[in-house]
């Protein structure tokens, strides 16, 4: 496995972690193509990592203990109950253990970027135009240049150029609803003391739910991080049925009016105010899609992170899967003698995990958004039974890594 030219397409969390795996696996000539010229470190949304998965990834060297994080120990479920105005948080219907580390995406990426091998050629601002595979390798076209590599790793997200070159017919499928996201300094939140620092809130309503937890701000403080899932009114999701994204500040008046309705009419006062406190420039929309590639390794290509599988965020394991992909990639490289054997070993492990995540995400999407129960009628016992039925044996928070 020593030597060989390897191209990584994509330089976010998955791509940086893959570069670490490659160096540990013996690759000596690594090029990373990242389309963004700058700004990756400024992404301030939350990343939650289950404690058990965190321990595995820290032990494997893919999460550094020095990266700031906020401990989450419990999840509390709230519903709006206008007959009981004693608490602006709403009525708590259940509380369960929720052992997670919460991170800020930017500092987590920055730490991984700092560990990209010094010998690697990290080309920021370099968008890939095409990838062509040949019997013995691949050609990468970027910036008017064509370069040949022995192996290409697709780490370029859900609209992956590498995956498209392998599977032109594998396209992200619109889930039928949206995720609103926001993050801002916790000091802006009125009555923040009402909400415990170690609590992840699931605020549920007919046709959706809000997830809220604290994340580090990278400077010793905390930020409010929230995600709200809801089906948009008819006609307002036009243009989202094919893969797209809406950066902060670009949501139209109709969608923002819908969000205001949810905040004012469906959420308890505290949580509605929390959403309302997000400025227009901090507010962005994530239309939800899912898919998984039939194989994570084909010919001379590996797929990692969202280039291989996109599961709905309900699974609580997006970043975990990307880091686990890198961990398994390293193991495949160090335990085999040829690229062909490494590709086969990696695919055998990761492809089933991707399929399981997509299936779990779809089940949770039905239960938490598309076919919600009568939340107000649930209590600790019945909600626990409902959650167990919806998740089944699915890997919520990510599957345990094989040893």
Whether 278 and 353 share a structural domain:
no
Which pTM does this prediction carry? Answer: 0.94
DSSP secondary structure code for residue 299 in this structure: T
Whether 154 and 35 share a structural domain:
yes
Helical spans, DSSP H, in 141-227: 161-166
389 lies in some domain: no
395 lies in some domain: no
Q: Give the span between the Cα atoms of 385 and 352, in whole angstroms.
A: 26
Q: Looking at 78-92, 201-215, 238-252, which range is the least confident one?
A: 238-252
Q: What is the pLDDT of residues 312-322, one digit of tens each?
A: 999 999 899 99
Q: Give the span between the Cα atoms of 213 and 230, in whole angstroms.
A: 18
For residue 220, the Cα-to-chain-centroid distance in whole angstroms is 24
Residue numbers of the domain that contains 214:
69-104+173-287
Whether 13 and 117 share a structural domain:
yes
Q: What is the pLDDT of residues 162-209, one digit of tens each?
A: 999 999 999 888 999 999 999 999 999 988 999 999 999 999 999 999
Whether 234 and 267 share a structural domain:
yes
Number of domains making up the chain: 2
Residues 6+ apart with CB under 8 A from 181: 45, 226, 227, 228, 283, 284, 285, 286
The DSSP annotation for 258-270 comes to: HHHHIIIIIS-HH
Nearest to 384 by CA among 80, 47, 82, 98: 98
Pairwise pLDDT comparison (332 vs 238), residue with the higher score:
332
1 band by pLDDT with thresholds 50, 70 and 90:
low
- Burial label, 61 (beta-carbon count in 10 A; 0-12, 13-18, 19+): middle
Whether 133 and 253 share a structural domain:
no
397 lies in some domain: no
Q: Give the span between the Cα atoms of 191 and 397, in whole angstroms.
A: 30
Cα–Cα distances in Å, from 201 out to 5, 136, 204, 211? 47, 51, 9, 6
First to last CA, the chain: 21
Span 7-12, mean pLDDT? 96
Residue 252: what pLDDT?
Answer: 82
Q: Give the span between the Cα atoms of 198 and 233, in whole angstroms.
A: 34
CATH number at residue 196: 3.30.9.60
383 lies in some domain: no
Residue 271: what pLDDT?
Answer: 97
22 band by pLDDT with thresholds 50, 70 and 90:
very high
Q: Please identify, among 236, 253, 287, the residue that sits at the C-terminal boundary of a domain.
A: 287
Residues 6+ apart with CB under 8 A from 179: 227, 228, 229, 285, 286, 287, 288, 313
77 lies in some domain: yes
Residue 163: what pLDDT?
Answer: 96
Whether 299 and 321 share a structural domain:
yes
403 band by pLDDT with thresholds 50, 70 and 90:
low
Coil/strand/helix, residue 191? coil
Indicate the average pLDDT of the chain.
Answer: 93
Whether 250 and 344 share a structural domain:
no
pLDDT exceeds 80 at position 43: no
18 lies in some domain: yes
pLDDT exceeds 70 at position 299: yes
Helix axes 339-365, 318-334, angle to 10 degrees: 160
Q: Please identify, among 254, 287, 320, the residue that sits at the C-terminal boundary of a domain.
A: 287
Residue 98: what pLDDT?
Answer: 97
H-run or E-run covering 184: strand 173-185
Whether 177 and 164 share a structural domain:
no
pLDDT exceeds 60 at position 147: yes
Whether 158 and 214 share a structural domain:
no
Q: Please identify, among 260, 287, 314, the residue that sits at the C-terminal boundary of a domain.
A: 287
Q: Give the span between the Cα atoms of 56 and 324, in whole angstroms.
A: 9
Whether 195 and 225 share a structural domain:
yes
Q: What is the pLDDT of residues 115-140, one digit of tens each?
A: 999 999 999 999 999 999 988 899 99
391 band by pLDDT with thresholds 50, 70 and 90:
very high
Phi, psi of 242 (to 5 degrees): -105, 150
CATH number at residue 321: 3.50.50.60
266 lies in some domain: yes
The DSSP annotation for 60-128 comes to: HTSS-TTS--EEEEEEEEEE--TT--S-TT-EEEEEEEEEEEEEEHHHHHHHHHHTS-TTSEEEET--E
Q: Give the span between the Cα atoms of 15 and 304, in whole angstroms.
A: 8
pLDDT exceeds 70 at position 84: no
294 band by pLDDT with thresholds 50, 70 and 90:
very high
196 lies in some domain: yes
Q: What is the pLDDT of residues 88-97, one digit of tens each?
A: 999 999 999 9
Residue 265: what pLDDT?
Answer: 96
Whether 95 and 221 share a structural domain:
yes
Whether 215 and 259 share a structural domain:
yes
Coil/strand/helix, residue 185? strand
Residue 87: what pLDDT?
Answer: 86
Nearest to 209 by CA among 255, 268, 287, 278: 268
41 band by pLDDT with thresholds 50, 70 and 90:
low
């Amino acid at each position: 496995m020593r030597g060989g030219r390897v191209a990584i397409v994509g330089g976010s969390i998955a791509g940086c972690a893959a570069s670490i795996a490659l160096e540990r696996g013996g690759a000596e000539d690594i090029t990373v193509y990242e389309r963004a010229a700058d700004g990756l470190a400024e992404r301030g949304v939350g990343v939650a990592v289950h404690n058990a998965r965190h321990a595995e990834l820290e032990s494997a060297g893919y999460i550094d203990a020095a990266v700031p994080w906020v401990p989450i120990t419990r999840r509390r479920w709230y519903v709006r109950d206008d007959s009981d105005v004693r608490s602006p948080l709403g009525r708590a219907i259940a509380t369960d253990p929720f052992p997670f580390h919460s991170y800020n995406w930017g500092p987590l990426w920055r730490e991984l970027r700092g560990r990209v091998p010094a010998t690697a050629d990290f080309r920021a601002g370099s968008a890939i135009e095409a990838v062509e595979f040949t019997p013995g390798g691949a050609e990468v076209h970027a910036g008017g240049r064509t370069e040949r590599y022995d192996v290409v790793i697709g780490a370029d997200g859900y609209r992956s150029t590498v995956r498209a070159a392998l599977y032109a017919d594998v396209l992200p499928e619109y889930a039928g609803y949206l995720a609103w996201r926001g993050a801002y300094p916790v000091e802006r939140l009125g009555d923040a003391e009402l909400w415990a620092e170690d609590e992840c809130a699931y605020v549920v309503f007919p046709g959706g739910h809000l997830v809220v937890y604290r994340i580090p701000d990278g400077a010793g403080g905390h930020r409010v991080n929230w995600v709200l899932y809801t089906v948009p009114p008819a006609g307002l999701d036009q243009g989202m049925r094919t893969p797209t994204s809406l950066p902060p500040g670009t949501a139209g008046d109709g969608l923002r009016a819908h969000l205001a309705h949810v905040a004012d009419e469906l959420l308890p006062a505290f949580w509605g105010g929390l959403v309302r406190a997000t400025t227009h420039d901090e507010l962005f929309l994530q239309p939800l899609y899912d898919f998984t590639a039939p194989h994570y390794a084909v010919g001379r290509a590996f797929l990692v992170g969202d280039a291989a599988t996109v599961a709905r965020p309900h699974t609580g394991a997006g970043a975990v899967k990307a880091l686990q992909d890198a961990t398994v990639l390293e193991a495949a490289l160090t335990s085999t003698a040829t690229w062909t054997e490494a590709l086969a070993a990696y695919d055998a492990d990761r492809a089933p995990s991707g399929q399981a995540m997509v299936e779990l995400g779809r089940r949770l999407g039905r239960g938490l958004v598309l076919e919600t129960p009568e939340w107000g009628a649930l209590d600790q016992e019945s909600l626990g039974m409902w959650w167990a039925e919806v998740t089944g044996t699915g890997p919520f928070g990510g599957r345990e890594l094989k040893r």
